Amino acid sequence: MHRRYPLGPPSLVAVLTAGPSRLVAATLLTGAGLLTVVALLADPAGQLLALPAALVLAALAVRDLTLRPVLLVDEGGVDVVIGLRRRRVPWDRVEQVRVVRDRRTPLLEIGLTDEVVVLSRLRLGRSPDDVLAELLALQHLGTQHHRGD
């Protein structure tokens, strides 16, 4: 079952996630190193498969070490890491946020006007349900603050 939550502009600033740990990045770098060794020992076909995979793992490790936090919320919108870049999205371009379950694994889905961003627990560093609950609480508090309640 999918839960849908429309968002409005909050009036608070919050870092909702810490992002992947250094252990995750170290694991990715170790995998890249092992794939590089395999590529050096492999035949040309094996090299064609292993070297690009090693480069992808290394790029993901660099992303996880440098592009943190994964999700930042403030009164103007959200900053979210998408792929290998950080993107600033104003609130009027955020259509929905929900938690979806993929084979019982919760994922935070942020629907933008031009794309959908899906963040796992591993990327968020926290449970997607917890991040969503905090995001909704900030939205509510921001709306009250904006109205002057």
Q: What is the DSSP letter of 1?
A: -
Q: What is the mean pLDDT of residues 94-115?
A: 90
Query: pLDDT, tens digit, for every residue of 13-46?
Result: 555 566 566 777 788 888 888 888 888 888 888 8
pLDDT at 55 over 60: yes
Element at 40 (helix H, strand E): helix 22-41
Half-sphere exposure of 110 (CA within 13 A, CB side): 29
Q: Which pTM value belongs to this model?
A: 0.68
Range ranked top by mean pLDDT from 67-71, 104-108, 119-123: 104-108
Using CA atoms, how far apart are residues 31 and 85, in angstroms rounded to an integer? 22
